[in-house]
Amino acid sequence: MRLVSLISLVWLSMPVFAGISLEDDAGNVVALERPARRIVSLAPHVTELLFEAGAGDAIVATVEFSDYPLAAQVIPRIGDAWRIDREALAVLRPDVVIAWASGTPPRELEAIRKLGIPLFLSEPRQLPDIAAQIREFGKLAGTREPANAAAARYEAKLESLRSRYAGKSIVPVFYQMSLRPLMTVNGDHIISAVLKLCGGANIFSRLGELAPVVSREAVLAAAPAAIVYALSTERDRTAATRFWSLPSQLPAGRKATLIAVPADYIHRPTTRILEGAAQLCDALEGVRKQAESRSQKPESRIQKPE
């Protein structure tokens, strides 16, 4: 009887895992028997969000350009945005692989499924989705407390920006995803959500593709008040300035204001996107003030001869 009681006490003191079941951003149900202790991240933004969720120590491998935070730079690489070393992945025996739904090639996703490894697809499309993703990663890794805290901090910053720029006049904006080819984003992309937060309107929001190729002529015809582009190096600034300074101008002889935002602050759907949003919002406020100044400029008076 005493032995039975002792066994019961030991059993009661052991952690109990009821299993984890989450729906990923593609609508697939991902089930784990217990929190993931070995995670492979197949996108830089996933790596960053895992660290935000307190699960950085669980990442056993990632891909090229997963460079933030600093601790991510020492994690082993098993591929890049186009190809994964499948043999290395199989050897790692991860509890879950987290991939980028629209960025990881379908052939690589299918190969992971054939290996029988649980696969979670990440695709934040709206700004609140980032907080939700951090919480989901906290559930996957069993780090709910730090994940919930990080998500709450992000939500507070988002609400602060939303309140500050609510009700601002709309500024037509062209977002330059890349220059050659000239690519932009449609209204489903999270970058459009950033523009909207700042009172900007994506001039190509109704296009069907997530990241469509457009012509320079189409951009000029749409007459944006601002052209926003991602800045990785100073060469990007030089190239954008030259490209948009060519002879053709916007209607009424006005050129759009060029606005550069650090690439990592706007191309990655992570908490740092709010830093990029803050810079963009401030720049668009400058565009509004310029427009107001032009509209309020008094007409030149013709002095009558005496």
| All residues at 6 or more sequence positions from 64 whose CB lies less than 8 Å from its CB, including other chains | 77, 79, 80, 81
287, 171 in Cβ contact below 8 A?
Answer: yes
Lowest-pLDDT range of 30-34, 113-117, 249-253: 249-253
Distance from C-alpha of 281 to C-alpha of 236, rounded to nearest angstrom: 21
55, 135 in Cβ contact below 8 A?
Answer: no
Averaged pLDDT, 135-139: 98
Q: Are strands 20-23 and 200-202 parallel, antiparallel or unpaired?
A: unpaired
CA angle 286, 197, 146 (to 5 degrees): 120
Q: What is the model's pLDDT at position 294?
A: 75
156-210 tens-digit pLDDT: 999 999 999 999 999 999 999 999 999 999 999 999 999 999 999 999 999 999 9
What is the token pair recorded at 293? 């100044």
State the pTM of this model.
0.88
Distance from C-alpha of 137 to C-alpha of 46, rounded to nearest angstrom: 9
pLDDT at 232 over 80: yes
Distance from C-alpha of 288 to C-alpha of 264, rounded to nearest angstrom: 26
In order of their start, the domains of the chain are 17-156 (3.40.50.1980), 167-293 (3.40.50.1980)
Residue 62 carries which DSSP code? B
Distance from C-alpha of 54 to C-alpha of 69, rounded to nearest angstrom: 12
Closest among 30, 24, 25, 142 to 96, alpha carbons compared: 30
| All residues at 6 or more sequence positions from 181 whose CB lies less than 8 Å from its CB, including other chains | 213
26, 39 in Cβ contact below 8 A?
Answer: no
Closest among 270, 89, 268, 54 to 76, alpha carbons compared: 89
48-60 tens-digit pLDDT: 999 999 999 999 9
Closest among 161, 154, 159, 160 to 134, alpha carbons compared: 154
286 or 3, higher pLDDT: 286
Closest among 109, 101, 118, 99 to 42, alpha carbons compared: 99
Closest among 122, 117, 246 to 179, alpha carbons compared: 246
Q: What is the model's pLDDT at position 303?
A: 41
Averaged pLDDT, 8-32: 73
